[in-house]
Structure 1
Amino acid sequence: MTTNAELAARFEEFADLLEADGVEYKPRAYRRAAENVRAHPSPIADRVDTGDRAAIENIDGVGDAIASKIVEYVETGSIEELEELRAELPIDMADITRIEGVGPKTAGKLYRELGVETLDDLEAAAEAGEIQEVKGFGPKTEQNILDNLEFARTVGQRQLLGEARPLADDVLAFLESLEAVERCEVAGSIRRWRATIGDVDALVATDAREDVIDQFVAWDSVDDEIESGPEKASVRVGEIRVDLRVVVPEEFGSALQYFTGSKDHNVSLRNYAIERGMKLNEYGAFDVSEIDDPDAGQRVGERVAGETEAGMYDALGLPSIPPELREDRGEIEAAENGELPALVTRDDIRGDFHTHTEWSDGNTTIETMVEAAAERGYDYFGIADHAEGPGIVGEMGLSDTEILEQVEEIRAVGDDAELEVLAGIEANVDADGEIDLSDEVIDELDVIVASTHSALDQDAETATDRLVRAAENPAIDVLGHPSGRLLNQRSGLDYDVTAVGRAAAEHDTALEVNSDPRRLDLWGSAVQAVLEEGAPIAIDTDSHQPATLEYMRWGVHTARRGWAEPADVVNTWDLAAVREFLH
C-alpha cells in the first residue's frame, strides 16, 4: 500500500534534487505539495484506485502535473522524471542532508566539485581535507561534517511517529475486524509514543492463532511478507515493517506489558517483583515465594495475573503505569508512593499559540485557519507567522510594517470569530539570543513565539546561554521548538535543558512542545526536566494548514512522556489565565 508519507517523501526528494541542480521556484512547489499530501486525512492512493483524479487535483498544492506523478507512482512504484533526476544527480540526498548545515544546494556543489554521492564519499573527502578547499567552504564546515556523520548514519534507521502511528491505527482496525481476534493493541515504542520507532508492533489475543496470522499476511495493504510462523509474522507495508505476535487470551495482559517495554522499565519492574517474592514475564505474574528455584522455568510458581495488563501491576500492589511513562525515569517509585501524575489529555487542550497562514509560509488564509480551530472547539487561537530574520528564507518573513498590517486583519477576523483570536508572531532567536522586533510591534501583539532557525551548530555552552537569554526576555511568551531539531534530518542545538527550564520558570516564559512530527521539540525527558524546574510548557502544532492542527495528538503524547499534567500546560488554561500569562 502506498502511504501518504511515502508519496510526500518522493516529492521532497524531487524538491531537493531540483534545488541541488540550481532550479528556482519549483522546489518550493514540490515541498508545499509534499506537506499537503503528508497531512491529507485519508489515503490518497485510494483515490487512484477509484479513479477519482479530481479529488487528487483538489488537494492544495497538487495540480495536474503532480497529480499525474501521484498516479504514476501508485500504479508503477516509480516516477520516470524522478528517476531521470536521480540519474543526473546520483546523490544519497536523504543521508547527506542529515548533516547539519548541508542542504540540497551544498550537496549538489559537493557532487559537482568532488563527486560526493554518499556519506562514505563525504567522510573520505572531509578526512582528506578536500572539502575546505572548495570555494565557499572552510575548515569549520569540514569539521562540522565529520562531527555529524555518526548522527546522519544512525537516525535514518527509524520511522517518524507521525508516519508510523497512522499505519498502526490501520493495523489495529484491520485486526479488530477479524472474527477470531478477541483483543488487540499496539506494543513497543509506538505504544509509548516515542518520537521515532523502529517498526510497528501489534499484539493479538486469539484461540485461532494460525488463522489470524494467515489473514494478516493476506491483508491487501501488505506489500511484502518478510516471515511468518505459528505465533508471529512480519510484513512490510509501504516502507514500514509491521510485526504481529499472537497469544492465547489468558496471557494477553502479561504479553502486552512485556512487549510494550521499555527494556529498562521492565528490568526495574522485574527486580521490584523479585524483592516481593514475585516473578514477571510475558506469560504472567507468578508468586514464587515458596519456590526453591524460581528460575527453573517461565511458568514456575502460582500464576496470579496475566489476563489484563492492569492486573500485572496490581499483583505488585501498584497502580497501572501509563505506557508513555515506562522509561525507567522514576515511574515505579512514583507509583509505589501514589505520586503518578494525572497526565494531560487531548480533551484538556483549549487552544494553540503557534500556527501559520499564507502571510508567511502557510497554505491558507487567516480566516480559514480560525474557522478550523473553532471547529475543534478551541477557546482561543494564535496566528504566529514568521517575522523576517536569521534562518528565514527570502520573502517568507514579515517586516515590522507587514506585521502591523496583519494584526489589523487578525483583529478583523477575530471580531466575527466564535473564539478569541490572538495576534502573534514567530520571531527569530538570533545567535546571541535576541529577537528583532520594534517596541511598537511588541506592544500590538498578543503572543510572541520566539524560535531558533539558524546557528544550530553552536557548542552546548553557547547554545545554553543563547536560550537562557531568550527565556529571560520579557517580550517573549513562548520559546518555540528550542533545539531547532528536525527528526531524522538534523540534531539541532545541544544545550542544558535544566538551565533553560530554570530561566523560563523565573521569567514566566513557556517552553514549547512543538507537535510537528518532524520536530517533537521539546521531547519527553526534556519536558520532565523543565517541569521539575517549575517552568510551564505550551503544546503547539506549528500548523501551516487546517489538516495539521491534528498534530496536537503527537504533542500531547510527547508532553505525557514528560509527566505533564494539565496545570503545567498553558494552553489548557482558561482565557483569563492565558491573558494574564501573556501580560
Structure 2
Amino acid sequence: MSRNAEVAGLLEEFADLLEAKDVEYKPRAYRRAAENIRGHPPAVEHLAAEGEDGVKAIDGVGDAIASKVVEYFETGGIEELDELRNELPVDMAALTSVEGVGPKTVGTLYETLGITTLDDLEDAAENGEIQELSGFGEKTEENIREGIAFAREAHERELLGEARPYGDRVRDFLAGVDAAAEVELAGSIRRWRPTIGDVDVLVGSDDADAVVEAFANWDAADTVIEAGESKASLRVDDFRVDLRVVAENEFGAALQYFTGSKDHNVRLRNRAIDRDLKMNEYGVFDVSEVDDADSGQRVGERVGGATEEEMYAALDLPPIPPELREDRGEIAAAADGDLPDLLDEGDVRGDLHTHTEWSDGGNTIREMAEGAAEFGHDYLAITDHATGPGMVGGVGLSDDELREQIDEIRTVDDDVAVDLFAGVEANIGADGSVSVADDVLAELDLVVASPHVGLDGDGTDRLVTAVEHPEVDVLGHPTGRLLNQRGGLDVDIERLAGAAAAEGVALESNSDPRRLDLDGGLVKPALDAGASIAVDTDAHQPGTLEYVRYGVHTARRGWAEADDVVNARDADGLREFLGL
C-alpha cells in the first residue's frame, strides 16, 4: 500500500495550521496538493526517492511542497510543520470535528481563551466564555456546545476509507508470513461499516508464536502496544491494529464470530440452540447427546468450524456476505433462499459524478477521461459544480460557462476510449429549486442535483421537490452528511424513494469515504420503495475513481444488486435511463 494518504494528511494538517494563523493563499495550495497526492496512482514514496522533481510530477505540487515531502521521507518529519505545531499546540482534528469550528476559529479560540482540546472547548462553552468573543455570540456558542457530543463520538472512530488501506496492508504483510495459513480482516472493517474502531486481523496458524513475532517486528509499525501468546496490538500511524491468532482448523469459526455483528451472531446462536447445536468461536457442535452443553466451549461433536461456509451450513444456511450481517432480516432471507445477488465492484461500468479543473477538480476533462479508461470504465459523466447555494470562491460554473464546457466535452469525446456524458452538479436550494436555468439543463446529458447548504433538520420536502424537477437524473449525496463532521439532513427515505422511482431519478450512494451517502441503512428501504441508485465517486482527480469500492460495498450493505444500479448498465443502457 502506498503512503499517499499519510502524506496527504500531513499536508492537510499543514493547511489547517496555516489557516488558523490567518495565512492567506498557502492553505488552499496545500489542500490542493494533498488531494492530488491522495488520488495519484504512483506511490508518493517512490516519487520522493527521485527527489523534488519526482514529487513535482504530481499536479499542484510546487517546489516548496515537494521539498517538504522529500524531507519527510528522508528524515521522518517536516521541520516547518513541527514549528507550526509548537506555535499552535492544539488538537486540530478533534476541534474541527465540531460542526461550525474551522481552523480559523481554532486559531482565534487558542489566542483568546487558550483552548487546545475538546475538553477546553466544552468548558468554555458551558461557562459562556465563547459568546463574549467578537464575532461569535450566544447562538454560535450554543451550536458549538451541541456539536461537542457528536464530535466526541466521531473522534473515537476512523473513516473506513482511511482505515481500510491499512487493513489491506497488514493483511498482505501477514499473508507473506510462512506460519500464517489463513489471513483475513474481521470486525466492522470486514463488514465495510462507514466508520470503524480498530483494524482487526485474524490469522489461522499452528505456530502462533511465529506469527506474533513477525507481526510485532513489522517495520510499518510505530509502537508495539502489547504482544502475547496469540494476540498482539500495534500502532500504525494513528490506527490501532489488533491481531488474533487461532488454530488453523478453527479459523472459519473464529472468522465468523469476530466478524460479527453482535446482533447477527446472537440470532445465529439462537438458531443453533433450536437445532440442539452449540455455536461459538471454536465451531458448531452437536450437543444433542450432551447432558450439560454449558460445561465447556468445545463439548459435543464438532460439525463445522474450519471454514465460514461450514458454520452456516451446519445451521442449514448458505454463506451470508459480511456486509449483510447486521440482523436486518438476512438470516430469514438466507433460510428462505432469498439472499440478494449482491453488486460486485466489477459490475460498475462508469461514473456519473466527477469534477474537473473547470470547477474544483484537479485535472482536465481529457485527463479525467483517460483516467476512467485506464481504470476500466466504459463511460464517464463530467459533472462540475454549478453556481448556487453552497458554492464559494468562484468554484461553480455559470450557465454560459456550462455551455462552453458542453462543447469541450463533445470535442474530447471524439478521441478518447470512454463515452463522455456532459453533465452538471447543480445545487438544491432551501426550497428544492435547482440552481441552473432549465434551458441549460435541457442541453445536458445528465443532471446531478445535490444539497450543499442548510444541511440540518428534515430535508424531505426539499429533496422531493428537487427530484420532481423534469431535468434531474440523479440526487447527489442526498443527506449531505460528512462522516465524523456533520450528521446531514433527516430524510423520510420511503417518501423520497417513492418520488424518485415515480420520476425516474436515481438516488446516489456517494463513494467518497467522507460521505458514503446514501449509507446502507438507507439504500435498502430506498430499493424496497422501488428507487434505483447510482454508485458514484464524486472524484476530483483520476486516482479517486478507485473510491468506487467503498460505494459498492456500501450499496451491498443495503442489499443492492447490479440491476438496482443505473451505472452498472452499459452505455446504451445508461442512455435509455437518461432518455437520450
**Shorter-chain-normalised TM-score: which range?**
over 0.9
Following the alignment from structure 1 to structure 2, what is the Cα–Cα distance between the partners of residues 408 and 248?
Answer: 63
Following the alignment from structure 1 to structure 2, what is the Cα–Cα distance between the partners of residues 182 and 474?
Answer: 57
Q: CA deviation at 1:544?
A: 0.8
Following the alignment from structure 1 to structure 2, what is the Cα–Cα distance between the partners of residues 112 and 451?
Answer: 37
Structure 2 residue corresponding to 1:563, chosen from 554, 559, 565: 559
Moved more, 477-486 or 115-124: 115-124
Following the alignment from structure 1 to structure 2, what is the Cα–Cα distance between the partners of residues 135 and 52?
Answer: 46
Report if the CA contact (8 A) 2:51-2:70 is conserved: no
Pairing 1:451–2:447 present: no
Following the alignment from structure 1 to structure 2, what is the Cα–Cα distance between the partners of residues 444 and 51?
Answer: 47
State the partner residue of 1:495: 491
Pairing 1:79–2:75 present: no
Unaligned stretches of 5+ residues in structure 1: none
- SS of 2:136's equivalent? coil
Matching of residues 118-267 of structure 1 within 5 Å: 118-267=117-266
Structure 1 residues 257, 518: CA separation in 2 closer, same or farther (over 3 Å shift)? Answer: same
Structure 1 residues 2, 19: CA separation in 2 closer, same or farther (over 3 Å shift)? Answer: same
Pairing 1:14–2:10 present: no
Pairing 1:479–2:442 present: no
Report if the CA contact (8 A) 2:438-2:471 is conserved: no
- SS of 1:385's equivalent? coil
Matching of residues 268-347 of structure 1 within 5 Å: 268-347=267-346
Q: CA deviation at 1:81?
A: 1.7
Following the alignment from structure 2 to structure 1, what is the Cα–Cα distance between the partners of residues 387 and 421?
Answer: 20
Matching of residues 386-535 of structure 1 within 5 Å: 386-456=385-455, 458-459=456-457, 461=458, 463-535=459-531
Following the alignment from structure 2 to structure 1, what is the Cα–Cα distance between the partners of residues 41 and 319?
Answer: 33
State the partner residue of 1:25: 25
- SS of 2:447's equivalent? strand
Report if the CA contact (8 A) 2:343-2:560 is conserved: yes
State the partner residue of 1:572: 568
Q: CA deviation at 1:75?
A: 4.1
Matching of residues 37-76 of structure 1 within 5 Å: 37-41=37-41, 43-45=43-45, 47-48=47-48, 50=49, 52-76=51-75
Q: CA deviation at 1:113?
A: 4.3
Output the amino acid matched with 2:60.
G
Following the alignment from structure 1 to structure 2, what is the Cα–Cα distance between the partners of residues 5 and 278?
Answer: 46
Following the alignment from structure 2 to structure 1, what is the Cα–Cα distance between the partners of residues 120 and 214?
Answer: 45
TM-score by length of 1: 0.95
Give per-residue Cα distances to partners, 1:244-286, cap 9 Å, x unaligned: 1112211011111111111111111111111111111111000
TM-score by length of 2: 0.96
Give per-residue Cα distances to partners, 1:532-568, cap 9 Å, x unaligned: 1111110001111111111111111111111000011
Q: CA deviation at 1:404?
A: 0.6
- SS of 2:410's equivalent? helix
Following the alignment from structure 1 to structure 2, what is the Cα–Cα distance between the partners of residues 272 and 513?
Answer: 33
State the partner residue of 1:374: 373
Report if the CA contact (8 A) 1:2-1:74 is conserved: no
Output the amino acid matched with 1:491.
G
Following the alignment from structure 1 to structure 2, what is the Cα–Cα distance between the partners of residues 9 and 380?
Answer: 31
State the partner residue of 2:534: 538
- SS of 2:373's equivalent? helix
Q: CA deviation at 1:365?
A: 0.6
Following the alignment from structure 2 to structure 1, what is the Cα–Cα distance between the partners of residues 404 and 42?
Answer: 36
Report if the CA contact (8 A) 2:500-2:507 is conserved: yes
Structure 1 residues 421, 473: CA separation in 2 closer, same or farther (over 3 Å shift)? Answer: same
Moved more, 351-360 or 8-17: 8-17
Structure 2 residue corresponding to 1:552, chosen from 531, 548, 568: 548
Output the amino acid matched with 2:37.
V
Moved more, 335-344 or 88-97: 88-97
- SS of 2:489's equivalent? coil
Q: Give aligned pairs, total.
A: 579
Output the amino acid matched with 1:291.
V
Following the alignment from structure 1 to structure 2, what is the Cα–Cα distance between the partners of residues 289 and 78?
Answer: 62
Q: CA deviation at 1:161?
A: 1.5
Structure 1 residues 343, 36: CA separation in 2 closer, same or farther (over 3 Å shift)? Answer: same
Structure 1 residues 529, 580: CA separation in 2 closer, same or farther (over 3 Å shift)? Answer: same
Output the amino acid matched with 1:546.
P
Give per-residue Cα distances to partners, 1:502-555, cap 9 Å, x unaligned: 222222211111111111111111111211111111000111111111111111
Report if the CA contact (8 A) 1:451-1:480 is conserved: yes
Q: CA deviation at 1:149?
A: 0.9
Q: CA deviation at 1:453?
A: 1.4
Report if the CA contact (8 A) 1:2-1:238 is conserved: no
Q: CA deviation at 1:46?
A: 5.1
Output the amino acid matched with 1:255.
A
Report if the CA contact (8 A) 1:414-1:421 is conserved: yes
Report if the CA contact (8 A) 1:204-1:246 is conserved: yes
Report if the CA contact (8 A) 1:6-1:239 is conserved: no
Following the alignment from structure 2 to structure 1, what is the Cα–Cα distance between the partners of residues 2 and 128?
Answer: 42
Q: CA deviation at 1:2?
A: 9.4
Following the alignment from structure 1 to structure 2, what is the Cα–Cα distance between the partners of residues 40 and 420?
Answer: 23
Report if the CA contact (8 A) 1:254-1:281 is conserved: yes
Following the alignment from structure 1 to structure 2, what is the Cα–Cα distance between the partners of residues 464 and 357?
Answer: 30
Q: CA deviation at 1:14?
A: 1.5
Moved more, 502-511 or 558-567: 502-511
- SS of 2:393's equivalent? coil
Q: CA deviation at 1:102?
A: 2.3
Report if the CA contact (8 A) 1:291-1:301 is conserved: yes
Report if the CA contact (8 A) 1:363-1:545 is conserved: yes
C-alpha RMSD over aligned residues = 1.9
Following the alignment from structure 1 to structure 2, what is the Cα–Cα distance between the partners of residues 430 and 18?
Answer: 32
Moved more, 22-31 or 326-335: 22-31
